Amino acid sequence: MSLSKGNKVSSMSWVKHPGHYLFFKIFIWFWLTIIGTVTALIFLSNITVINAVSNEPLHGPMEKNLIYTAKSIERSVVKHKRSLSNTLSHTRLSKRKLLYLSAEQPEDSLTNKDVPIDVDLSLLNFTKSMSPQIIFTEKYQAFGPIQIKVPEGNFYLYEIDINNQPPLFIRLKLMPSWMKVSIAMIASLILSFLFSRNLIAPINSLKKAAVRLSAGDLGARAAISVNRKDELGVLGRDFNSMANQLELLISSQKRLLADISHELRSPLTRLKMATGLAQMQANDASQSYLLRIEKEANQLDKMIADVLQVSRLEAKSQALSLQKQSLQIIVDHVINDAQFEAKQNNKQLNIVGAVDVNINCDEGLIASALENLLRNAIKYAHNTISITLKHADAVYIEICDDGPGVPNGQLSKLCEPFFRQSDARDRVSGGTGLGLAIAKNAIAAHDGSLVLSNKEQGGLCANITLPLIKE
Amino acid sequence: MKLLMIDDDTGLCELLSEYLTAQGFEIQSVHDGEQGLKLAQANDYALILLDVMLPTLDGFEVLKQLRQTKLTPVIMLTAKGEDFDRIFGLELGADDYIPKPFNHRELLARVKAITRRIEHINSLNLAATSKLLVNGITVNLAAREASIDSSTLTLTGTEYEILTLLCKNAGEVVSKEQISEEVLGRRLASFDRSIDMHVSNIRKKIAEHISGERIKTMRGTGYVFIQGE
| B92-118 mean pLDDT | 84
Question: Is pLDDT above 70 for A430?
Answer: no
Compute and round to an integer the Cα radius of gyration of chain B. 17
Q: Strand pairing of A153-162 and B222-225?
A: unpaired
E strands along A83-187, which residues? 98-103, 110-111, 133-136, 140-150, 153-162
Angle at B74 between CA B68 and CA B76, to 5 degrees: 115
CA distance A76 to A70: 10
Answer whether B208's CB lies under 8 Å from B200's CB.
Answer: no
CATH T-level topology, domain A55-163: Beta-Lactamase (3.30.450)
Residue of A nearest to B11 (CA): A270
Q: Does A269 contact B101 at a Cβ distance shorter than 8 Å?
A: yes
pLDDT digit string, tens, across residues A279-296: 888 888 888 889 899 889
Q: Could you give the domains of chain B?
A: 2-123 (3.40.50.2300), 131-225 (1.10.10.10)
pLDDT digit string, tens, across residues A48-90: 655 556 677 777 787 888 888 878 877 877 777 777 777 777 6
**Lowest-confidence range among A118-127, A210-219, B117-126?**
B117-126
Q: Is A363 on the interface with B (CB under 8 A)?
A: yes
DSSP string, chain B: -EEEEE-S-HHHHHHHHHHHHHTT-EEEEESSHHHHHHHHHHS--SEEEEESS-SSS-HHHHHHHHHTT----EEEEESS--HHHHHHHHHTT-SEEEESSPPHHHHHHHHHHHHHHHHHHHHHGGGTT-EEEETTEEEETTTTEEEETTEEE---HHHHHHHHHHHHTTTSEEEHHHHIIIIISSPPPTT--HHHHHHHHHHHHHHTT--S--EEEETTTEEEE----
Domain ranges in chain A with CATH number 3.30.450.210: 55-163
Q: What is the pLDDT of residue A427?
A: 47
Compute and round to an integer the Cα radius of gyration of chain A. 47
Size of interface A-B (CB pairs under 8 A): 67
Q: Does A274 contact B15 at a Cβ distance shorter than 8 Å?
A: yes
Q: What is the pLDDT of residue A92?
A: 65
Contacts of B100 in chain A (CB under 8 A): 265-266, 269
Q: What is the pLDDT of residue A10?
A: 47
Contacts of A319 in chain B (CB under 8 A): 82-84
Domain ranges in chain A with CATH number 1.10.287.130: 231-314
Higher pLDDT, A92 or A370: A370
**Lowest-confidence range among A347-361, A433-447, B82-96, B113-127?**
B113-127
Q: What is the pLDDT of residue B62?
A: 92
Q: What is the pLDDT of residue A35?
A: 80
CA distances from A416 to A133, A296, A429, A459 (A): 86, 24, 19, 20
Q: Does A270 contact B9 at a Cβ distance shorter than 8 Å?
A: yes
CA distance A348 to A340: 10
Q: Does B100 contact A265 at a Cβ distance shorter than 8 Å?
A: yes
Identity of the residue in B80, B87, B100 whose CB atom sits nearest the CB atom of A269: B100
Residue of B nearest to A299 (CA): B101
Confidence of residue B49 (pLDDT cuts 50, 70, 90): very high
Write out residues 300-329 of A within 8 Å (CB-CB) of B: 301, 305, 308, 312, 318-319, 321, 325, 329
Q: Does A280 contact B191 at a Cβ distance shorter than 8 Å?
A: no
Q: What is the pLDDT of residue A103?
A: 75
Name the average pLDDT for chain B. Answer: 84
Residue of A134, A125, A87, A95 whose CA lies nearest to A113: A95
What are B137's strand-pairing partners? B134, B148
Contacts of A271 in chain B (CB under 8 A): 101
Question: Is pLDDT above 80 for A342?
Answer: yes
pLDDT > 70 in chain A, percent: 82
Per-residue b or e along A57-83, where b marks 16 or more CB atoms closer than 10 Å to that residue's CB: ebeeeebeebeebbeebbebbeeeeee
CA distance A58 to A35: 31
Helix (H, G, I), strand (E, B) or coil at A334: helix
Question: Is pLDDT above 90 for A181?
Answer: no
Report the amino acid identity of residue B50: L
pLDDT digit string, tens, across residues A86-123: 777 766 666 667 777 777 777 777 777 777 766 677 77
Q: Measured between CA atoms, how close is B158 to chain A, in angstroms?
A: 23
Contacts of A345 (CB under 8 A, 6+ apart): A378
In the sheet with A54-57, reading across from the earlier edge strand, the strands are A54-57, A133-136, A140-150, A153-162, A98-103, A110-111
Identity of the residue in A266, A305, A364 whose CB atom sits nearest the CB atom of B81: A305
| B84-104 mean pLDDT | 81
Q: What is the pLDDT of residue B39?
A: 92
Contacts of A367 in chain B (CB under 8 A): 190-191
Residue of A nearest to B8 (CA): A266
What are A222's strand-pairing partners? none
Whether CATH 1.10.287.3510 fits A231-314? no
Per-residue b or e along B183-195, where b marks 16 or more CB atoms closer than 10 Å to that residue's CB: bbbbebeebbbbb
**Lowest-confidence range among A150-164, A188-202, B65-79?**
A150-164
DSSP string, A347-414: -EEEEEE----EEEE-HHHHHHHHHHHHHHHHHH-SSEEEEEEEESSEEEEEEEE-S----GGGGGGT
Q: Is A455 on the interface with B (CB under 8 A)?
A: no
pLDDT digit string, tens, across residues B193-222: 788 889 998 998 888 888 888 898 887 788
Identity of the residue in B103, B190, B193 whose CB atom sits nearest the CB atom of A272: B103
A262 labelled catalytic: yes
CA distance A463 to A391: 13
Q: Does A273 contact B19 at a Cβ distance shorter than 8 Å?
A: yes
Confidence of residue A370 (pLDDT cuts 50, 70, 90): very high
**Lowest-confidence range among A48-62, A240-254, A328-342?**
A48-62
For A109, phi then psi, to 5°, come to -65, 150
Q: Does B11 contact A270 at a Cβ distance shorter than 8 Å?
A: yes
Which is catalytic among the residues A262, A333, A391, A446?
Answer: A262
Q: Is A273 on the interface with B (CB under 8 A)?
A: yes
| A433-441 mean pLDDT | 86
Higher pLDDT, B124 or B8: B8
CATH node for A323-467 = 3.30.565.10
Look up the pTM and report it.
Answer: 0.57
Domain ranges in chain A with CATH number 3.30.565.10: 323-467
